[in-house]
Amino acid sequence: MISIHFPRNDKEASAYDGFLDEKGNFNILFSTDKITPILELENRINQFLEENGYKSIKLNSVDKAIVFENEILCLSKVEKEASLRLVLYKGINSSLKLIIKALETFREERDWKQFHKPKDLAMALSIEASELLECFLWKEISSANKKQIDHEVADIFSFLLYLVTDLEIDLESVILEKIELNSKKYPISKSKGVSTKYDKL
């Protein structure tokens, strides 16, 4: 599903007969030649949306430049190609959308967001990481409780997702940025095979 497993490159996007624009949003064109009734066009677009986890939309006409737009998608007229361009906005952390939605629903149902200030989420992350450490204390890895480890990792990642969602942090973007910074701090020629800190290399 595009909404959950958002295409990462043009090859993946082309599998849906579309392409990615410069911002990473998915684009697909729907023909609007004169012999296509608007209801048929609407049905074709909605079939694609529903198959990929999006809500259906209602078209009244295709006369305006912007036919439909919200925070998730945009449907606009492409005059020279006699088509409508449907753009699905990638958004931040879109590949984690299913997990984030489940976490937000869980939190909303219990009215817990009031307790999830960034400071408290950061503290919870630290506490859960300590509980993960406890799984290995005085044990060989072969005797550690795998199910307990799974649950602690899930708790850590859940609190991290709450934090990045509330602060609108794009995990993919900041991680790639950090890898780039670290590659400069730890050049392969100096750091390969050694654990020395960058300022001691």
How confident is the model over 102-122, as a mean pLDDT? 97
Q: What pLDDT score was predicted for residue 1?
A: 66
- Structural domain that includes position 152: 94-189
Q: Tally the residues of the chain.
A: 201
Question: Confidence band (pLDDT; 50, 70, 90) for 8?
Answer: confident
Rounded CA gap, 64 and 166, in Å?
36
Is residue 41 a contact partner of residue 30, using CB atoms and an 8 Å limit?
Answer: yes
* Domain limit, last residue, from 31, 53, 88: 88
Same domain, 69 and 122: no
Q: Does residue 121 share a domain with residue 58?
A: no
pTM of the model: 0.70
What CATH number should be reported for the domain holding residue 174? 1.10.287.1080
Once rounded to an integer, what is the mean pLDDT over residues 55-67? 85
d(CA 55, CA 40): 17
Q: Which of 88, 106, 136 is the last residue of a domain?
A: 88
Task: Specify whether 83 is located in the same domain as 98.
Answer: no
Do residue 77 and residue 101 come from a single domain?
no
Do 107 and 136 share a structural domain?
yes
Q: Examine the domain organization and report whether 46 and 133 are in the same domain.
A: no
pLDDT band of residue 106 (cuts 50, 70, 90) is very high
Question: Which residues make beta-bridge pairs with 68?
Answer: 75
> Is 195 contained in some domain?
no
Are residues 59 and 68 in contact, defined by beta-carbon separation less than 8 angstroms?
Answer: yes
Structural domain total, the chain: 2
Query: Which tens digit of pLDDT belongs to each residue from 116-165?
Result: 999 999 999 999 999 999 999 999 999 999 999 999 999 999 999 999 99
Residues 44 and 102 placed together within one structural domain of the fold: no
DSSP tag of 71: S
Q: Is the pLDDT of residue 65 over 90?
A: no
Band (pLDDT 50/70/90 cuts) for residue 53 is confident
- 1 in any annotated domain: no
Side-chain-side CA neighbours of 127 within 13 Å: the count stands at 9
- What is the Cα–Cα distance from 159 to 143, expressed in whole angstroms? 27
Supply the angle between the helices 146-166 and 97-110 in degrees, to the nearest 10: 80
3-class DSSP state for residue 137?
coil
Residue 118 inside a domain? The answer is yes
One domain, residues 71 and 123: no
Instruction: Give yes or no for a contact between 178 and 186, defined as CB atoms under 8 angstroms apart.
Output: no
**pLDDT tens per residue, range 164-175:** 999 999 998 899
| Tokens read off for 89 | 């906005």
- pLDDT higher than threshold 80 for residue 79: no
Query: Hey, what amino acid is at 156?
Result: I
With pLDDT > 70 as the criterion, what percentage of the chain qualifies? 97
| End residue of a domain, out of 61, 88, 115 | 88
On whether residue 194 sits in a domain, the answer given is: no
How much is the pLDDT for 35? 66
Clarify whether residues 136 and 81 are in a common domain: no
- Averaged pLDDT score across all residues of the chain: 92
H/E segment holding residue 20:
strand 19-20
